[in-house]
Amino acid sequence: MSLASLRKEYQQASLSETDVAADPIQQFGIWFQQALKADASEANAMSLSTVSAAGRPSSRIVLIKDFDQRGFCWFTNYNSAKGHDLEANPYGAA
């Protein structure tokens, strides 16, 4: 089997600026409901990127436990690498 022939079609919907909510949190809620309805695996998984004190970026997966207009809530250990990164560089997270 050729890896190049592996391809999944994503043709359920298009994405246009006119289709999305002006409020990004509201739009996230719409997409999250769609992901739940589609029975997506780990629908509340998100990618969290941080930057260390030395400027080295890294990313990992965390699970969203709640979200509202203040942002996204997830749990972790303060002594983890991401915990140290956020302490040193709180505005480097995305």
Ligand X SMILES: Cc1cc2nc3c(=O)[nH]c(=O)nc-3n(C[C@H](O)[C@H](O)[C@H](O)COP(=O)(O)O)c2cc1C
Contacts with ligand X, residue ranges (CB under 6 A)? 42, 45, 58, 60-63, 74-76, 80-82
* Closer CB to ligand X, 28 or 74, in the complex: 74
When the beta carbons of 67 and 74 are compared against ligand X, the nearer one is: 74
CB of 59 to ligand X, least distance (A): 8
The nearest distance, CB 5 to ligand X, in angstroms, is: 28
Which residue, 29 or 81, has its beta carbon nearer to ligand X? Answer: 81
Q: Give the CB-side neighbour count of residue 88, counting CA atoms within 13 A.
A: 15
In the bound state with ligand X, the residue whose beta carbon lies nearer, of 56 and 60, is: 60
What's the length of the chain? 94
For residues 4 and 18, what is the distance between their CA atoms, to the nearest angstrom?
34
Dist CA 72 CA 49 (whole Å): 13
Provide, rounded to whole angstroms, the least separation between the CB of residue 89 and ligand X: 13
Task: Give me the torsion for CA of 85, 91, 47, 62, rounded to 10°.
Answer: 60
By the 8 A CB rule, do 29 and 37 touch? Answer: no
Rounded to a whole number of angstroms, the minimum distance from the CB of residue 61 to ligand X is 4
